[in-house]
Structure 1
Amino acid sequence: MNINNLKDKQANKEKLVMLTCYDYSAAKIMNQSEVDMILVGDSAAMVMHGETSTIPMDIERMQHHVSAVVKGAPDKFVIADMPFMTFRQSVEHGIQAVKMLMQAGAHAVKLEAVDGHEDLIERIVQSGVPVMGHVGLTPQFVNQFGGFKVQGKDPVSHDKILADTLKLQQLGCFSVVLECVPATLAAQVTRETNLITIGIGAGCDVDGQVLVTHDMLGFPSAFNPKFVRQYLNTEQLFKQAFDQYAEDVKQGRFPSDKESYL
């Protein structure tokens, strides 16, 4: 899968499918699936490292996650999140972070918001790296928002989100994630830009959808947003397997002769 395939699907009105992934084993399974794009998200900070927000994620850990995912899913289009502050210090610092992610095997990078790093976005695009924007609820700004809240409901924030997406298009981005915004606003962005629009809590009138894999698989989490549909109760399945294993060990049923060297 490459960027031209994605644009062709958009032109043909084929819905695009994106999920997050952070490790080699899950990536191998995802590589066999109908998923088009993999986001190696800074959400790894929360679902893989137990943090309460994405802010603690750093570029070195992100680089390791990207490298593992790319090895496991060579047939997918892999986008890497740029962690908190890696694109807010200077253009040179941001370009170095992009270099690390791309050399780890990513096909594109994703940056949250727009204001203050327009020059960096333009430089990244000019360097031949596809850029995905991210507007609406941008988790790295959670402290400014006062929590994980829907964005774009009032006229001022509505117009700001629309203006930001138009700016992303002008700067050369190929796509944008619209997170936790009214469905009508997401539909408007999809109509009024040529960006590939990927929604998460943004209704169905977008070019594609993304979810955090751990959320849709039902891994335990204190964060249960309205926009998640759970396709599996992994917590229950894992616990059942762990308890069955423990019981088999305690009762002497494991290992059997089949699992032993005789």
Structure 2
Amino acid sequence: MLLSQLNHKVQSGEKIAMLTCYDATFAKLMEAAGVDILLVGDSLGMVLHGAENTLNVSMHHMTYHTKSVAAGALNTLIIADMPLGSYEHDAEAAYKNAEWLIKSGAHMVKFEGGGEKANTARYLVERGIPVCAHLGFTPQSVNQLGGYKIQGKTAEGAAKIVQDANTMADAGVSLIVLEMVPASLAKNITETIKVPTIGIGAGVDCSGQVLVVQDLLGIYTGPASKNAAEFKSPRFVRNFLKDTNSIQDAVSTYVKSVKNKTFPAAEHSY
């Protein structure tokens, strides 16, 4: 039901507002503010655990936080990230881990990768588990990608992302997250594939947007081991709390800004 409601919004031209969420209090607040999708992201490794990346997040972490979010939001679509090591090597193992997340309260699972993960996506979808693909910059591959870098800038790189998007759409995924890709590329993908796209650093023309809630509030200052004064927010981040009076107002302003297409602006895109 929640997924069909989301698809109806997309088909009617309404933009989708998505935020990361890790606990019941924020889940309840976000639901009241009209957030369409709550993402229990493996970004919790950075914003909750203080790590430099998402690589040490476990299935136990993800199921714990998924249960917490589900307890606070009874009427909002919840997507849970599949952490590194939980889906890459074996489709049956991926299914068992995805099922664990669904039983913990998620309505959909998300994992990183394109064509090489299509068989896994298809395996899950055929067994009744909705899947969200994640293309462009993929945080679990940060070491292979050489750091936090824009993807799809070259013709070859853009073609690969387009091919991956089409392959994952054909595999039956329900959503595709496009992270840190040129806005023109994200626009082309959104207009040509049959699956809604959620952008982060990918321009205003995606079907919707996602931010990490700590970024939205301007309170994330990098890993615990680094000096906060040296931290610089990514280009796609906007501090919504700065110009509002409360966390509730900041989240509501984010939702309205996504819906009326004023966020992301050009300065938040590549």
TM-score by length of structure 1 reads: 0.87
Deviation, structure 1 residue 19: 0.2
Contact residue 153 and residue 182 of structure 1 kept, 8 A: yes
Cα deviation digits, residues 127-147 of structure 1 (max 9, x gap):
111111010000001001110
Percent pairwise identity: 41
Residues of 1 paired with 2:201 and 2:174: CA distance?
Answer: 20
Is 1:2 the counterpart of 2:2? The answer is yes
User: Which residue of structure 1 lines up, in the alignment, with residue 156 of structure 2?
Assistant: 156
| SS at 1:160 equivalent | helix
User: Which residue of structure 2 lines up, in the alignment, with residue 232 of structure 1?
Assistant: 241
User: Which residue of structure 2 lines up, in the alignment, with residue 180 of structure 1?
Assistant: 180
| SS at 1:176 equivalent | strand
Range with bigger deviation, 114-123 or 173-182: 114-123
| SS at 1:185 equivalent | helix
Residues of 2 paired with 1:9 and 1:105: CA distance?
Answer: 22
User: Which residue of structure 2 lines up, in the alignment, with residue 79 of structure 1?
Assistant: 79
Name the count of aligned residue pairs.
236
Q: What residue identity is the alignment partner of 2:92? A: E
1:197-216 to structure 2, matched below 5 A, reads 197-216=197-216
Contact residue 219 and residue 233 of structure 1 kept, 8 A: no
| SS at 2:132 equivalent | strand
Q: Which runs of 5+ in 2 are unaligned?
A: 223-231, 248-270
Q: What residue identity is the alignment partner of 1:200? A: I
Deviation, structure 1 residue 82: 0.4
Residues of 1 paired with 2:41 and 2:124: CA distance?
Answer: 19
1:104-253 to structure 2, matched below 5 A, reads 104-222=104-222, 224-233=233-242
Bigger Rg, which one: 1
User: Which residue of structure 1 lines up, in the alignment, with residue 18 of structure 2?
Assistant: 18
Contact residue 88 and residue 116 of structure 1 kept, 8 A: no
Deviation, structure 1 residue 194: 1.1
Contact residue 149 and residue 180 of structure 1 kept, 8 A: yes
User: Which residue of structure 1 lines up, in the alignment, with residue 54 of structure 2?
Assistant: 54
Contact residue 99 and residue 129 of structure 2 kept, 8 A: no
Deviation, structure 1 residue 233: 4.7
Q: Which runs of 5+ in 1 are unaligned?
A: 239-262
Contact residue 199 and residue 209 of structure 1 kept, 8 A: yes
Residues of 2 paired with 1:89 and 1:165: CA distance?
Answer: 21
Contact residue 78 and residue 106 of structure 2 kept, 8 A: yes
Which of structures 1 and 2 has the larger relative contact order (alpha carbons within 8 angstroms, sep 6+)? 2
Is 1:38 the counterpart of 2:38? The answer is yes
| SS at 1:49 equivalent | coil
Residues of 2 paired with 1:218 and 1:170: CA distance?
Answer: 38
Residues of 2 paired with 1:98 and 1:83: CA distance?
Answer: 10
Q: What residue identity is the alignment partner of 1:164? A: D
User: Which residue of structure 2 lines up, in the alignment, with residue 92 of structure 1?
Assistant: 92
- RMSD between aligned alpha carbons? 1.6
Q: What residue identity is the alignment partner of 2:237? A: V
Range with bigger deviation, 161-170 or 225-234: 225-234
Cα deviation digits, residues 36-87 of structure 1 (max 9, x gap):
0000000001001111101110001100000000110111100000001211
